[in-house]
Structure 1
Amino acid sequence: MSFLLSKNFFLSILSAVLLWIAFPGGGGLWPLVFVALIPLLFVINDSSLKNCLLAGLACGLLHYSLLLYWIVIVLGKYGGMPWFVSFQGLVLLSLYMSFYLIAFAVLSRVFLSALPVSLAIWLVPSLWVGIDWIRGLFLTGLPWMDVGYSLYESPFLIQIADLGGHHAVSFMIVLCNTLFFFLLVNQLTLRRVAVLIPGVLFLVAALYYSGQRYSEVKEMIAAHTESNVTVGVIQGNIRQEQKWSVELQKKTVFIYTDMTKSLLADGPADFVVWPETALPFYPPSSELMAGLFAFVGASGSSILTGAPWYEIVDRKARKIRFYNSAILLGGDGTYHGKYYKTHLVPFGEYVPFKRFLPFLAPLVEAVGDFTPGKIEAPLVQNNIKAGVLICFESVFPDLGRQWVEAGANMLVNLTNDAWYGKSSAPIQSLAMTVFRAVETRRSIVRSANTGISAFISPLGEITSRSDLFVPWAGKGEVTLNTEKTFWVRIGYTFAPFCLGLAALGLLMAGVLAWKTERD
């Protein structure tokens, strides 16, 4: 109770609020992210390990409750759960996410108390990045809105993502917070300021690199205009409560074909992109496909669309595999390519550990039981080699990297964000997708059922976008690129390096504590 009434509690809450205001959906005042952690660092610097734990918990619970409030909408409105259960789900998820912030607070206390400032300025941001990386991997990963994503509307500042992924941007942000903190916490002397100079020089170098790469990539885009392709995007705006109605399947197909026909009235596109599960039926057994293929042939453009899919593994044993797929429909009446979603959503598209937990069988029936696919060859249409990210996959950087390694010269994101309602989740999802463009230097075409659909350049600039919950059709010139960035070539290296550096710092702090006790 004493902590709840203390200054440290209010400082922890202040950091949570500042972070939320800096993030998309909370205000989008991104400059605040460079100072948002300072109140929490003051608490960490001046508290016991117990109070650091409580500070991390308080900051994490509030921050993630504000950031992820839309979970209540997903579970309550569309998941059919009672609202009080939905709120409990939000609290539990926020509590889980808070554990990572607790770890940051407690371990940062070790750095600030046991090691010199010259080391702490590097170890604190390294710890943050290392913990974020673990969060993106543990239990299939939930890397939703790492701190670097707050800068999605500032392409000039995020170009270092092609070196170390979005984690490099997060490192820069936390380093800036740490430097400001040390300037404020200590009485300024020439010697103390001098210790911070290497960190300042690192930030200057990062900004210089971002500026240089921004100019270089902009020139590359301008030089490749002759090889650009034309891509169309359709946002059908089918309400989630209507989406899977058998009676409305024909109407849904008509909506998409009619909007596509209008979009192509002034000229064809190399292909047109429809959202995730735009076809609310299984194409292999649907009588609607004949008419759809006829439309594709008459339109002069291929169509890339999302649809559920199945494959019969053993007809006698009635063994069937179901997939969340993207299919490329050709004008010749054939499928020009398919991709099965690789990273499925736990408890949304499959139930983990169902073999060992048979009592979860009813839940399997409720959410579906999809089989994961794997990334192989891109979907090819003329000069386009498209790598596909379905829904939640756009938040996992390594999937975009794998597509580029497989030969993709552009990326396509098909999603159905109707589940989120008119919340901040769709803009957060878009913000994370922006970074996949910078990391891979690939244009991204995003088609979302109810928004936000967008065209994103290799610079991470959103050149065109839709609003939420409106029908929308857009056509854009898309740059194709074959360059492989440093990030694509080396993958996850920077974040594990940061984690290793933080572990080394903890070991050093332990050795120093042992020597002090021994002496």
Structure 2
Amino acid sequence: MLTTDPAERRARSLDTSERRGPSLGTWGRLAGAVVAGLALYAAFPPLGAWWAAPLGIALLVAVVDGRRVRAAFGLGVLVGVAYQLPLLHWTGEYVGAVWLLLLVALVLVVAVPVALLPLVTRLPAAPLWVAGVWVAGEALIERWPFAGFPWAKIAFGQPGGPFAPLASLGGAPLVSGAVVFCGAGLWALVRALRARQRRAAAGALVAVLLGPTAGLAATPSVDADPPGPTITVAAVQGNVPRAGLDFNAQRRAVLDNHVVQTRRLAAEVRAGRLPRPELVIWPENSSDIDPLRNADAGAEIQAVTDEVGVPVVVGAVLAGARAPDGRLVRGPRNAAIVWAPRSGPGATYVKRHILPFGEYIPLRGIAAQVSPLVDRVTDFEPGTGTGVLPAGPARLGVVTCYEVVFDDSVRDAVRGGADLLTVPTNNATFGYSDMTYQQQGMSRLRAIEHDRAVVIAATSGQSAVVAADGTLQARTGDLFTPGLLVETVPLRTTTTLATRLGPGPEWVLVALGVGAVVVGLVQRRRSREQGRA
């Protein structure tokens, strides 16, 4: 018997759909969410397919457009897992499954902005609002969870593409916003062409082309660079006895390796095979023996510094302090010390952004239940300051390893007077993972953002010298091999628009995104009220 009751027809329809399971369209959206996340990952080094990011965004927006917030959140979780899992698996390389706590938090921070996209995709100029919502999510990741973990910013996958020069105008947030604007524009273009809406298609085409065109227009001309002072700098890669946390068990061997490579540098200079450096940079953790407390370590560093005859920036772990009852009252500190010939240790910077699940364990009680390996990690104590150290002829801006992902760390160093940047890093902890290549891409973007050359000194590779325009000037070879780099780079004192504006462009984009979400919520509520009427 047929029924004309609408409520009963809807109930029967729901019963039928539940028996049949997810529709083909639902499976397509689920698959699309996974592919979108993988495309965002593919943009990052070492794959470096920068063009995959706007394509991933276009697919992501297509997948969630027209969905309810709850459904879009679920799709956002899939996007987040497909994006973050392959990108950040190195964080658990040697601390076990505890890194999944970090992954869960980061996936949620991706899923929330994705859940909000359906509220703005039907507004006029939708690609702009989509970009604002995405940058708002990245601004959150910059600050939370665990004091921020913004490793997966879309901008960091763009150092080799046409969007990268925009970093000099508005920093990493502007680059991320431009990539998302382009991708959302591509989605809007396809939608307008399918609906044969010529005016909308023309506007969407502008969104697709604006970012890369502006980036190409902002590309600095190498020939136009003003002449200025330069410095010849050496990066020493001493290597470690073995990968992983266990390299700390042979701390003296790591120090000795860097001493040996620096002596080799001095010998090559004396023989005329390498130019004489004016500054030598050792990587993070090159002396895990506190050279200020351990006389043998200090004497060894002093001897090789005297031999090379120029300041050596030493990455050292300064020991913590314990109370008489054994309580740790001051954790160890991750420091960069300028060690001068004859006069010894001088200016020091202590890393202020320390790595969660690497240099300290958040939620230690819960983490210990997930993996017993967390007991091997002693919580470090963060430092303060801008990281600017007088080092020979340079005012060196030290951005230690993980700190390169934070906008404020690099910007504060440049605003504090740094004319050269260095990223001393210890990637031995993360084995043969992609971490070192991802960090190299970030350093290239920072060079463009602030018009500064960057010297990356790594314990086990890959060390590199990045020119002020973001190009790789030199780099060492295979991972876990010793190496030396000696290059001449400029000392710059100019400031880019991004340096001067600071977080301003980020907050403008965040305001646009949040405002659009509010408008979308109001419109959706009105539509529901009209539907009930």
Question: Normalising to structure 1: TM-score of the pair?
Answer: 0.87
- Which residue of structure 2 lines up, in the alignment, with residue 302 of structure 1? 311
Q: Deviations over 1:298-343 (max 9, x none)?
A: 3222111101124779999995553110111111232231111111
Q: Deviations over 1:16-38 (max 9, x none)?
A: 2222333223x322222221222
**Alpha-carbon contact 1:249-1:281 (below 8 Å) kept:** no
CA distance in 1, matches of 2:233, 2:516: 49
User: Helix, strand or coil: the match of 1:337?
Assistant: strand
- Which residue of structure 2 lines up, in the alignment, with residue 19 of structure 1? 40
In the TM superposition, residue 250 of structure 1 has moved relative to its aligned partner by: 6.6
- Which residue of structure 1 lines up, in the alignment, with residue 27 of structure 2? 6
Which one is further off, 313-322 or 162-171? 313-322
1:330 aligns with 2:340: yes
- Which residue of structure 1 lines up, in the alignment, with residue 298 of structure 2? 289
**Alpha-carbon contact 1:68-1:90 (below 8 Å) kept:** no
Q: CA RMSD in A?
A: 3.0
Letter in 1 for 2:68: S
CA distance in 2, matches of 1:429, 1:149: 9
In the TM superposition, residue 376 of structure 1 has moved relative to its aligned partner by: 4.5
CA distance in 2, matches of 1:69, 1:364: 16
- Which residue of structure 2 lines up, in the alignment, with residue 389 of structure 1? 399
Q: Aligned in 2, Cα 1:332/1:63: closer, same or farther, shift over 3 Å? A: same
In the TM superposition, residue 247 of structure 1 has moved relative to its aligned partner by: 6.1
- Which residue of structure 1 lines up, in the alignment, with residue 234 of structure 2? 232
User: Helix, strand or coil: the match of 1:136?
Assistant: helix
CA distance in 2, matches of 1:41, 1:510: 18
1:185 aligns with 2:191: yes
Q: Deviations over 1:143-189 (max 9, x none)?
A: 113112222223x5311112211111111111111111111123233
Q: Aligned in 2, Cα 1:350/1:122: closer, same or farther, shift over 3 Å? A: same
CA distance in 2, matches of 1:9, 1:499: 28
In the TM superposition, residue 245 of structure 1 has moved relative to its aligned partner by: 2.1
Letter in 2 for 1:469: F
- Which residue of structure 2 lines up, in the alignment, with residue 79 of structure 1? none
Show the 5 A alignment for 1:59-70.
59-70=79-90
Q: Aligned in 2, Cα 1:254/1:506: closer, same or farther, shift over 3 Å? A: closer
**Alpha-carbon contact 1:278-1:305 (below 8 Å) kept:** yes
CA distance in 2, matches of 1:500, 1:268: 51
**Alpha-carbon contact 2:284-2:315 (below 8 Å) kept:** yes
CA distance in 2, matches of 1:250, 1:237: 9
**Alpha-carbon contact 1:268-1:301 (below 8 Å) kept:** no
In the TM superposition, residue 510 of structure 1 has moved relative to its aligned partner by: 2.8
- Which residue of structure 2 lines up, in the alignment, with residue 402 of structure 1? 412
- Which residue of structure 2 lines up, in the alignment, with residue 102 of structure 1? 111
CA distance in 2, matches of 1:141, 1:327: 26
1:442 aligns with 2:452: yes
- Which residue of structure 2 lines up, in the alignment, with residue 81 of structure 1? none
In the TM superposition, residue 253 of structure 1 has moved relative to its aligned partner by: 5.2
Q: Aligned in 2, Cα 1:342/1:461: closer, same or farther, shift over 3 Å? A: same
Q: 1:494 aligns with which of 505, 517, 529?
A: 505
Which one is further off, 10-19 or 166-175? 10-19
Q: Deviations over 1:65-85 (max 9, x none)?
A: 122222342324xxxxxxxxx
Letter in 2 for 1:303: V
CA distance in 2, matches of 1:7, 1:312: 57
**Alpha-carbon contact 1:130-1:499 (below 8 Å) kept:** yes
1:261 aligns with 2:266: yes
Which one is further off, 423-432 or 192-201? 192-201
CA distance in 2, matches of 1:146, 1:385: 28
In the TM superposition, residue 251 of structure 1 has moved relative to its aligned partner by: 3.7
Q: Aligned in 2, Cα 1:473/1:262: closer, same or farther, shift over 3 Å? A: farther
Q: Aligned in 2, Cα 1:372/1:352: closer, same or farther, shift over 3 Å? A: same
**Alpha-carbon contact 2:233-2:279 (below 8 Å) kept:** yes
1:36 aligns with 2:50: no
Letter in 2 for 1:148: A
Q: 2:389 aligns with which of 372, 375, 379?
A: 379
Letter in 1 for 2:457: S
In the TM superposition, residue 200 of structure 1 has moved relative to its aligned partner by: 5.0
In the TM superposition, residue 91 of structure 1 has moved relative to its aligned partner by: 4.3
1:122 aligns with 2:128: yes
Q: Aligned in 2, Cα 1:263/1:390: closer, same or farther, shift over 3 Å? A: farther
Which one is further off, 341-350 or 417-426? 341-350
Letter in 2 for 1:476: E
Letter in 2 for 1:193: A
Q: Aligned in 2, Cα 1:450/1:353: closer, same or farther, shift over 3 Å? A: same
**Alpha-carbon contact 1:158-1:210 (below 8 Å) kept:** no
- Which residue of structure 2 lines up, in the alignment, with residue 51 of structure 1? 71
Letter in 2 for 1:63: Y
Letter in 1 for 2:187: F
CA distance in 2, matches of 1:204, 1:304: 39
1:277 aligns with 2:285: yes
Letter in 2 for 1:300: G
1:151 aligns with 2:158: yes
**Alpha-carbon contact 2:254-2:286 (below 8 Å) kept:** no
Q: Aligned in 2, Cα 1:102/1:153: closer, same or farther, shift over 3 Å? A: same
In the TM superposition, residue 10 of structure 1 has moved relative to its aligned partner by: 1.3
**Alpha-carbon contact 1:65-1:91 (below 8 Å) kept:** no
CA distance in 2, matches of 1:15, 1:253: 43
Letter in 1 for 2:406: F
Q: Which runs of 5+ in 2 are unaligned?
A: 1-20
Question: Normalising to structure 2: TM-score of the pair?
Answer: 0.85
Q: Aligned in 2, Cα 1:473/1:143: closer, same or farther, shift over 3 Å? A: same
Letter in 1 for 2:523: L
Q: Deviations over 1:403-447 (max 9, x none)?
A: 111111111111100111111111111111212211111111110
CA distance in 1, matches of 2:251, 2:114: 51
Q: Tell me the matched-pair count.
A: 496
Percent identical residues: 25
In the TM superposition, residue 51 of structure 1 has moved relative to its aligned partner by: 2.5
